[in-house]
Structure 1
Amino acid sequence: MPTLSIPAWSPSLEVGNAIIDADHKETVELLAEAAKASDADLPTHFTAFAQHLRDHLAREEELMHQYGFPPTPIHVHEHNRVRLELEGIAKRMAAGNLALVRGYLTEVVPEWFINHKNTMDSATAAWIRSQGG
């Protein structure tokens, strides 16, 4: 898989919901910090990124439930997949596999983030707006 560039925050990454957009901005910032961290600092930065992402996913799920988003189970299933992935990466990091962590941050996460934002999160935000949120 080719290395992708870490997205820089821009209005093109917004989905039109202030809560989700603020979280996404922080996601991009923490991802960039983790990706460029030294090996010595990578565990701290990855841990901060992973915790933020878990918190963000929980906030999105609260919004989906609050506004009765019909495909909530599908979206939550994807969030759960990512949570398990983060857990697995953290275990490999604890075992000293920093190259895998760095590859995850620079190759897997950027592609996932853009695809997830463009599909599931955009649909969620559009539904919330349609419900007056």
Structure 2
Amino acid sequence: MPTLSIPAWSPSLEVGNAIIDADHKETVELLAEAAKASDTDLPAHFTAFAQHLRDHLAREEELMHQYGFPPTPIHVHEHNRVRLELEGIAKRMAAGNLALVRGYLTEVVPEWFINHKNTMDSATAAWIRSQGG
């Protein structure tokens, strides 16, 4: 799998919800910092990125529940999959597998982030707007 470029923040990454967009901007920034971190600094950067992502997913879920987003269970299922993935990567990082962490940050996360933003997050934001949010 070729290494994908980490997206730079731009308006094209917005979904039209201030909370989600602010979180996405921070996600992109933390991802870039983690991906370029030295081996010594990588664990701290990955840990910060993973915690931010968990917090972001929780905020999205609060919005889904608040606005009665019909496919909330599907979106939450995907979030839970990502949470489990983060746990697995953290365990491998603790065992010293920094190459896996780097591959995850530069190959897996960028592709997932763009796809998730374009599908589930865009649909969620559109629903919230349709409900007056």
TM-score normalised by structure 1 residue count: 1.00
Distance 2:101 2:8 in 1: 20
Q: How many residue pairs align between the two structures?
A: 133
Deviations 1:63-109 (A, max 9, x none): 00000000000000000000000000000000000000000000000
SS of the residue aligned with 1:105?
A: helix
Per the TM alignment, residue 36 of structure 1 is displaced from its structure 2 partner at its CA by 0.1
Q: Could you tell me which residue of structure 2 aligns to residue 91 of structure 1?
A: 91
Distance 1:104 1:4 in 2: 11
Q: Could you tell me which residue of structure 1 aligns to residue 60 of structure 2?
A: 60
Per the TM alignment, residue 62 of structure 1 is displaced from its structure 2 partner at its CA by 0.1
Distance 1:73 1:124 in 2: 12
Gaps of 5+ in 2: none
Distance 1:127 1:48 in 2: 30
Instruction: Work out the percentage of aligned pairs sharing the same amino acid.
Output: 98
Gaps of 5+ in 1: none
Within the alignment, does 1:132 sit opposite 2:132 as a pair? Answer: yes
RMSD: 0.2
Distance 1:34 1:48 in 2: 9
Q: Could you tell me which residue of structure 2 aligns to residue 26 of structure 1?
A: 26
Per the TM alignment, residue 50 of structure 1 is displaced from its structure 2 partner at its CA by 0.1
Distance 1:35 1:100 in 2: 12
Q: Could you tell me which residue of structure 2 aligns to residue 8 of structure 1?
A: 8
Per the TM alignment, residue 28 of structure 1 is displaced from its structure 2 partner at its CA by 0.1
Distance 2:4 2:12 in 1: 17
Q: Could you tell me which residue of structure 1 aligns to residue 71 of structure 2?
A: 71
Q: Could you tell me which residue of structure 2 aligns to residue 115 of structure 1?
A: 115
